[in-house]
């Protein structure tokens, strides 16, 4: 394929001052080269297309055979009980909006502190490993 591209790019440029017959011959040569390149590309595409059709046919045949030979499992799935729906916890009636906000703020602060401590631990471990390997 690479060789084919090299021959296509080496099409002679026809100078404008040559005779009409020489220009005609050079143009005909370039036409023949381009047609040859197009025909080889079409031939390659035909081979790829045939291979794709064969592979697709094999896949369809295997699927059809497995559908015919294997028992259907759809009936078993329909007979099983549906999964129970879990509802999210509702706020207790005693919880006020202020208490919920305080719990949210406390959670945020505690998560931020935990994040900082984890980052410090990771930094400490990586520096310790770096010193050990040095």
50-98 per-position pLDDT tens digit: 888 888 888 888 888 888 887 776 554 555 677 777 776 655 555 678 8
- pLDDT (average), residues 109-121: 88
Please state, in angstroms and rounded to a whole number, the distance separating the CA atoms of residues 18 and 23.
7
CA dist 82 → 36, 76, 85, 89 (Å): 65, 12, 9, 21
Domain span at residue 54 reads 1-72
Dihedrals phi, psi of 122, to nearest 5 degrees: -65, -45
Domain presence at residue 42: yes
Both 66 and 116 in a single domain?
no
- pLDDT (average), residues 15-41: 86
Per-residue pLDDT at 38: 92
pTM of the entire predicted model: 0.35
Domain presence at residue 54: yes
Domain presence at residue 91: no
Both 68 and 130 in a single domain?
no
């Amino acid at each position: 394929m690479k060789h084919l591209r090299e021959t296509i790019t080496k099409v002679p440029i026809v100078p404008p001052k040559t005779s009409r017959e020489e220009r005609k011959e050079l143009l005909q040569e370039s036409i023949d080269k381009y047609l040859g390149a197009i025909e080889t590309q079409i031939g390659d595409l035909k081979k790829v297309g045939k291979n794709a059709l064969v592979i697709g046919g094999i896949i369809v045949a295997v699927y059809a055979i497995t559908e015919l030979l294997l028992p259907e499992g759809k009936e078993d799935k329909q007979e099983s009980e549906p999964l129970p729906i879990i509802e999210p916890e509702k706020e207790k009636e005693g919880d006020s909006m202020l208490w919920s906000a305080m719990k949210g703020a406390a959670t945020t602060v505690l998560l931020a502190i935990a994040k900082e401590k984890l980052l410090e631990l990771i930094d400490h471990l990586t520096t310790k490993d770096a010193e050990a390997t040095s």
